[in-house]
Amino acid sequence: MSTEWDGIEGVEGWRAKLESLLREAEALPANADVQTRLKMNRRLTEFQLRSVPNTDEILELDAIAESARAAVIKAGIEDRLEGLAAGSAELARFTKQLRERSAGLQADARSLRFERADQAVQSLTETIKSVRELIASLEAATEAELVKKSERLITTLQNFRSEIERPA
């Protein structure tokens, strides 16, 4: 079974292959899904593993592939951060509406709504913190670390959703 790596020889062959991969990475749409970004990430990582011999020139190509790999993953994370920021603004608007509506209600009912909004804000704050930690560690993270941090992010997001869905 042949692969995209078969028949590549010498620095020029590996340079041409990397150039092709970089063109594909650049062509990824801004809203590319996670699986598409992960596939490109795997291909750039595989380039690093398969490119031989390990001469100075090949190692330089590997460094370029690594930078591109990190950029592909970061772009996806940054897109999701923008979505979270938009959600944060929507949450702020919602919280303001809650405060306006509850002004005329009894003190205990108002207290319950404020508590729920505060819990939602705390959940969102934890989510944003987790995403920022994920971005900060992306450069040095191994795949296992990235998976662990992604799972923690998902748990935090699920907790946030549960806070919002819970009846007052």
Q: What is the pLDDT of residues 26-57, one digit of tens each?
A: 888 777 788 888 899 999 999 999 999 999 99
What is residue 13's predicted lDDT score, i.e. its pLDDT? 95
> The tokens of 126 are what?
């934890």
- Residue 110, pLDDT above cutoff 80: no
Q: pLDDT tens digit string along 137-162?
A: 665 556 777 777 777 877 887 787 77
What is residue 112's predicted lDDT score, i.e. its pLDDT? 59
In angstroms, the Cα distances linking 77 to 42, 43, 54, 87, 148 are: 16, 19, 32, 15, 15
What is residue 153's predicted lDDT score, i.e. its pLDDT? 78
Rounded CA-CA distance 31/75 in Å is: 9
What is residue 14's predicted lDDT score, i.e. its pLDDT? 96
Cα torsion 134, 137, 139, 143: sign: negative
Of residues 92 and 41, the one with the higher pLDDT is 41
Which residues does 24 contact at the CB level (< 8 Å), separation at least 6?
40
**pTM across the whole model:** 0.50
Burial class (CB in 10 A: 0-12, 13-18, 19+), 46: middle
